Structure 1
Amino acid sequence: MSKPVRRLVLLLGDHLDLHSPHLATVDPERDLCLLVEARAEAQRVWSHKARIALFLSAMRHGAEALRQRGLRVEYWALAEHPYDDLVTAVAAALRRFAPQRLALHEPGTWALAEGLRDLANAAGTEFELWPASQFLFTREEFQSWAGAQRQHRMEFWYRHARRRTGILMEGDQPLGGRWNYDSENRHSFGKAGPGWLPEPLAFAPDAITREVLTVVEREFPDHPGSLAHFDWPVTMIEAEAALEDFIAQRLPSFGSFQDASWPGAVWLYHSRLSAAMNLGLLHPQRVIEAALGAHARAEASLAATEGFVRQILGWREFVRGIYWRYMPDYLEENALGAEQPLPQFYWSAQTDMACLRDVLQRTLDYGYAHHIERLMITGLFALLLGVAPKAIHAWYLAIYVDAVEWVELPNVLGMSQYADGGRVASKPYVASGHYIARMTGHCARCPYRPQERVGAKACPFTTLYWDFLIRHADPFARHPRTALQWKHLESLDAATRAEIQQAANKLRETWAKGV
C-alpha cells in the first residue's frame, strides 16, 4: 500500500527552480511531487516544436534531479495518462492520492492559477500557493508600488527597484550619475555588418532530450518550427554555463548593439538567457550579480552592464507586475480598434519583405528572435497593419521558446501594439522603413525602397506607417510625446493622403486573403 500524502506538490514547467526555499520544505516521507505533461498546454496556441521540447525536456530533467534528491516523484508523460489538460490531470491526481493539501508556486498564467484554485476548493483540498521563486520582487511588492503611482512606467519602477536593492547605486544616486545609457546603446552595424560574432555556448541534446525531440515530432507533427537547431540549456547546471559564457563573450558588446539586427545573424550579442530564467533554471539575482562582477573587473562597460541589468531588474519585473495587476481584463484590451487578421506569412516566412522574411525564418528555425526584432520588425508590422491584438498575442505566445503569458502578454499588447492605451508604453512605437534601413542590413537585400510611400517599389512599412499616422491623428497629434512625429502629416495634401490610404487598404485586402 502506498504511503499517505500530506501535500501533493505540483511542479509546473515554468517553475523548475530546484533551489526554491519552498521546495526545500518538501518532506520525502509525507509529500509527493507531481509533474504532468499536458497536451493542451502545447495546443492552446499552435506552439513551436522547440518551445514544446524545451518545456518537456526541462521538466524531465527536473524530475530526475528531484529523484536524486530523494524526493517522491510522480511523473505523467504524454503517452502515460489520458488527460488532455493540466487541470483535469491534477483533478485525477487529487482523487488518486487524496492529499491534505495541493501546493505549488504561483502559475505564470491567470487562467491556470484560477483553475487550480477552483479545483482545490471543489475537492475540499487546502490550496497552498507559494510565491514564484524566479523573481526579485513579489507580486504584492509591485502592487504596493503601483498603487502609489499616477502612471505605471518602467523607468519609474526601475529607479524604485534600484533604490530598493542597491543595484548600480552609490548611496541614493545611480552609479556613474545616470539612470540609463540608452543614448550609448543604439548603435547599428553599418553597411559592413557585424563581422565576426562569438557563437553562444550550445548544449547537445542528451538521451533525455533526444527522447523528447522524438516525442514532439511524433505527437505534434503539424506544429510550426524546426527541432534541427535545438541546443537550449535544459538544466540548472547548463543554464549557469550559458550565463558564464554570455558574461565572458557577449556582454561587453551587448549594450552598443542591443538594438541592431542583421540578416542571418541569430544571436548577435544577446544573452539567450530569458528562457532559462522564465523556466526557473536560472535566478535573476545570479544573472545580475554576474553582470555586476564583469563590470567590477573592468570586463564590461557601465553602459553595457546597465543596459543588460535594466532588462531584468527593470523590464522583466515590471511586465510581470502589470500582468497580474490588470488580468483578466487585460487580454481583451484593444485601444486602437485593430481587427485585421494576422498574415499567413507569419507562420511560413513566405514574403518578399526581406526583414520580415529573415526574422520569421529564423524564428521558425530556432524559436527565437531578439527583443528589437520582436518589437520593431514583427511587432511593428502587425501594429501598422492593424492586426487584432489577441491574434498577434497568440502568435508570440506560440512561436518563441521563452514565451510564458505573464511576460509575453504585456510585452505584446502593451509595449508592441499599444492595445492597452498606454498602461505600459507612453506612446505607440511606430516607425517607417527608414528605421529598419538604419538599424539593420535587410533593406539592401529587399525589392522595396524604404523612402517610398506609394508605388510598386514602396516599402510596406513606410506605406503603412503614414497610413497609421493618418488613421490615428486625433489621439496623437496633440499628445506630448508624439506631437512632433504626427506634425509630419502637415506636409501631406489631401490627394497624397488619399493615395497612401488606398495603397494601405490594398495591402490589408491582400493579406486578409491569406496571400
Structure 2
Amino acid sequence: MTSFVLSEDCYQHLSDVPSERFTQLALVLGDQLNAKHSWFQERQNERLFVLLELRQETDYCRHHIQKVVGFFAAMRNFANALVKAGHHVLYLTLDATAHSPSLTTHLEEIISTTGVRELHLQQPDEYRVDKQLQDWQAQQSLAVTWFDSEHFLTERSVLQDWFGDKPSYLMEYFYRRVRKQTGYLMEQGKPLGGKWNFDKENRKTPAQSHQFPPPITFATDVSALVEMLQRHQVKTMGTLNPTQFLWPVSRRQSLEVLDYFITHLLPYFGDYQDAMVQGQWSMYHSRLSFALNTKMVSPRYVVEAALHAWQQYPNKISLNQIEGFIRQIIGWREFVRAVYWQFMPDYQHLNALDHQRPLPDFYWDAKTDMNCLQQSIQQSLDYAYAHHIQRLMVTGNFALLSGCDPAQVDAWYLGIYIDALEWVEMPNTRGMSQFADGGIVATKPYVSSGSYIQKMSNYCDTCSYDVKQKTGPRSCPFNSLYWHFIDRHMEQFDKNPRMALIAKQWQRRDAETKRALLERAEQFLAQLN
C-alpha cells in the first residue's frame, strides 16, 4: 500500500511564496500532467508552477468520487515530482481555495501577491475552461503566452485543415489520414494486411470457460483526500475504498498499466473488445484512458510501445489485435477531440431528435430488473469505469430508445466515468451514443433490440426478462423500445440511407404486431421510475 503527502518544498499557502521572487507564472491544469512537456525540461528559478484544487472543477457536474480523488491524487503526485526535479511549485488544496470556486479569482490573487509580470498557459482541452481563460485574459494587462499541450497527434483545427467545412465527417477517412501521417501500420503507403481496419474480426464472445487475467490495480491510501471532500461537502456519486484506490495516479503507475496491458491483455484485446461478461469489469481492456486524459502518458508513447511489442512478438499479437487498439487511440480519440473543437459551443445544445424524457433514477443507483443495465451501471458506480460497448450499446442504447434528454445523458456520462472530460465525453455521448447531433459523428443511430446484447454478452442468461419475447410483461424492454423508437422517428429515418431498410421493415409489419409492440413500450416507459 502506498500513500502520499505534498512535498515540504512545495508552497501550500499563498502567504508562503516569497514576494517579488518570481517573474513568471505557469498554470498547470489537472489534465495537463505531462512530465515530457517542454516546460519541465529545464529548471528556471524565476518561474513558479501553479496547481489548484477548485470547487469550480468538483461542482460543474456531479462526479464519481473516484474521479475527483483520482484527479487530485494525480495532481499532488505531479506537484511532488516537479519539486523533486528542482522546480518551484505552488500547490493550493481545496482547503486553501475554499473561499472562492473560480480559477481566475485565484490567478488574480497569486499574480497580485507575487508581482509576476508574465503568465504562461497551456491550451485547455475543455471549451468552458478555454473560454473562461480567454475572456479573463482580454481584461488583463499582464503578458499572457499560450502553449500547446504537446500531447495530441493532431491540432484542434484538424478537420477544417484536412477536409474543410462540412456538416459531418467520417472517422474512417480521418483515421486513414492519421495512419498515413504517422506511418503506423503502413508499408509503402499501403495499410499492412491490405485493410485499414479489422473491426469485423473483433466481435468475438469468449467461451463460458474462458479464464480472464485479473486486472492490474493499485492500493493507494487516499483517506486524507476523501476526508477533505467530505469536510467541504463535495457532492459525489459511486463508491471507493479510501485505503485501496485502484487507479494509476502517477506516471510510474501509468506505465505499469501500459506494460501489463501489452504483456497480458493485448494478445486478446481485438478479439474480445466488444464482448460483455457478467462479473468481468476489466477483461482485456487497457484502462489507460484516465492516464491518457490526464496526460500522465501520451498517445504516441502508448501506441509506439504497443507497436514495438507486436513487432517483437508477431506470433503472439496478431494484426487485428494491434490495429483495433491503435484505431481507438489515433483514430477515435483524436477524431472526437477534433469534432468537439470544430462544432463547439453550439454542439453542446444539439438535440436533433427532440428527446426530453428525464434520465431514469436507476442510472444513479442501478436498481433495475434489466440485468444488462444493472450490471453495467453497478460496475460504473463501483469502479467509475465501463468499456465502450457497455457505454454505447447498453446504457446509451437504452437512453436513446427511451427518448432521454441528451443534456441529462451528457451530465451522467461526464460525471460517472473517471476518464470523462467534456472534449471526449460529449461527442461520444451526444453524437455517437444519442444521435443528438443529427449525424455529425455517426451516420446512423446506434440502437439495437435485445438480440445484440444477447449476442455480445451473457447478461440475458440471468435476466428477469426474456430476450426472446417481443411483447408481454416478461418480454425484454429493448425489443419493444427499439420499434417504438423507429416508429417515433419514421420521417427522419425514412430519409437516412442506413436506416431506410429498418424503416421499411416497420412499415411492412401488420397493424396488430405494431400495436402490441407500441403498447408494450409505452406501458414500460410509463412506469420507468
Q: Under a length normalisation based on structure 1, what TM-score does the superposition of the two structures give? A: 0.95
Contact 1:187–1:260 under 8 Å retained in 2: yes
**Alignment correspondent of 1:262:** 277
Contact 1:121–1:127 under 8 Å retained in 2: no
- Give 3-state SS (helix, strand or coil) of 1:230's partner: coil
Q: CA deviation at 1:151?
A: 4.3
Q: CA deviation at 1:281?
A: 0.4
**Alignment correspondent of 1:211:** 224
- What CA deviation, in whole Å up to 9, does each residue of 1:226-275 have, x standing for no partner? 11262111111111111011000000100000000011111000000010
* Cα root mean square deviation, aligned: 1.7
Identity of aligned pairs, percent? 41
Contact 1:197–1:268 under 8 Å retained in 2: yes
CA distance in 1, matches of 2:488, 2:33: 46
- What CA deviation, in whole Å up to 9, does each residue of 1:396-445 have, x standing for no partner? 00000000110000000110011101100011011000111111110011
State yes or no: 1:466 paired with 2:483. Answer: yes
Amino acid at match of 2:306: A
Contact 1:142–1:321 under 8 Å retained in 2: yes
**Alignment correspondent of 1:117:** 134
State yes or no: 1:45 paired with 2:64. Answer: no
Q: CA deviation at 1:197?
A: 1.0
State yes or no: 1:350 paired with 2:342. Answer: no
- Give 3-state SS (helix, strand or coil) of 2:435's partner: coil
The runs of 4+ residues in structure 1 deviating greater than 4 Å are: 148-151
CA distance in 2, matches of 1:279, 1:33: 17
Match of 1:136 among 146, 150, 153: 153
Q: CA deviation at 1:107?
A: 1.1
CA distance in 1, matches of 2:136, 2:516: 57
Change (3 A) 1:150 1:390: closer
CA distance in 1, matches of 2:507, 2:347: 35
**Alignment correspondent of 1:35:** 51
Change (3 A) 1:149 1:178: farther
**Alignment correspondent of 1:476:** 493
Matches within 5 A, 1:419-434: 419-434=436-451
CA distance in 1, matches of 2:248, 2:412: 23
Matches within 5 A, 1:249-328: 249-297=264-312, 298=314, 299-328=316-345
State yes or no: 1:223 paired with 2:240. Answer: no
CA distance in 2, matches of 1:369, 1:262: 12
Amino acid at match of 1:357: Q
CA distance in 1, matches of 2:386, 2:115: 44
Match of 1:435 among 440, 449, 452: 452
Match of 1:178 among 185, 192, 195: 195
- Give 3-state SS (helix, strand or coil) of 2:220's partner: coil
- What CA deviation, in whole Å up to 9, does each residue of 1:137-169 have, x standing for no partner? 122344301317674111010000001111100
State yes or no: 1:373 paired with 2:390. Answer: yes
Amino acid at match of 1:318: F
- Give 3-state SS (helix, strand or coil) of 2:138's partner: helix
Number of matched pairs: 507
Change (3 A) 1:88 1:507: farther
**Alignment correspondent of 1:335:** 352
Amino acid at match of 2:174: W
**Alignment correspondent of 2:8:** none
Q: CA deviation at 1:490?
A: 3.3
Q: CA deviation at 1:337?
A: 0.7
Q: Which sits farther off after the overlay, 303-312 or 29-38?
A: 29-38
**Alignment correspondent of 1:360:** 377
Change (3 A) 1:409 1:186: same
Q: Which sits farther off after the overlay, 484-493 or 345-354?
A: 484-493
CA distance in 2, matches of 1:171, 1:227: 50
Matches within 5 A, 1:400-419: 400-419=417-436
Q: Which sits farther off after the overlay, 430-439 or 39-48?
A: 39-48
Contact 2:58–2:234 under 8 Å retained in 1: no
- Give 3-state SS (helix, strand or coil) of 1:423's partner: coil
Change (3 A) 1:89 1:8: same
Change (3 A) 1:67 1:142: farther
CA distance in 2, matches of 1:220, 1:371: 32
Contact 2:19–2:113 under 8 Å retained in 1: no
CA distance in 2, matches of 1:426, 1:323: 17
Q: Which sits farther off after the overlay, 482-491 or 454-463?
A: 482-491
Amino acid at match of 1:59: M
Match of 1:65 among 66, 81, 93: 81
Q: CA deviation at 1:217?
A: 4.4
Match of 2:115 among 98, 105, 109: 98
CA distance in 1, matches of 2:295, 2:29: 10
Q: CA deviation at 1:210?
A: 4.1
- What CA deviation, in whole Å up to 9, does each residue of 1:315-354 have, x standing for no partner? 0000000001111100000011111100011010011110
Q: Which sits farther off after the overlay, 77-86 or 314-323?
A: 77-86
Amino acid at match of 1:463: S
CA distance in 2, matches of 1:93, 1:348: 41
**Alignment correspondent of 2:91:** 75
Contact 2:427–2:441 under 8 Å retained in 1: yes
Amino acid at match of 1:244: D
CA distance in 1, matches of 2:133, 2:31: 15
Amino acid at match of 2:216: L
Flag structure 2 segments of 5+ consecutive residues without an equivalent. 1-17
**Alignment correspondent of 2:409:** 392
CA distance in 2, matches of 1:331, 1:101: 33
CA distance in 2, matches of 1:148, 1:337: 25
Contact 2:25–2:49 under 8 Å retained in 1: yes
Contact 1:3–1:30 under 8 Å retained in 2: no
Change (3 A) 1:148 1:84: closer
Q: CA deviation at 1:221?
A: 6.5
Q: CA deviation at 1:189?
A: 2.3
Q: Which sits farther off after the overlay, 263-272 or 181-190?
A: 181-190
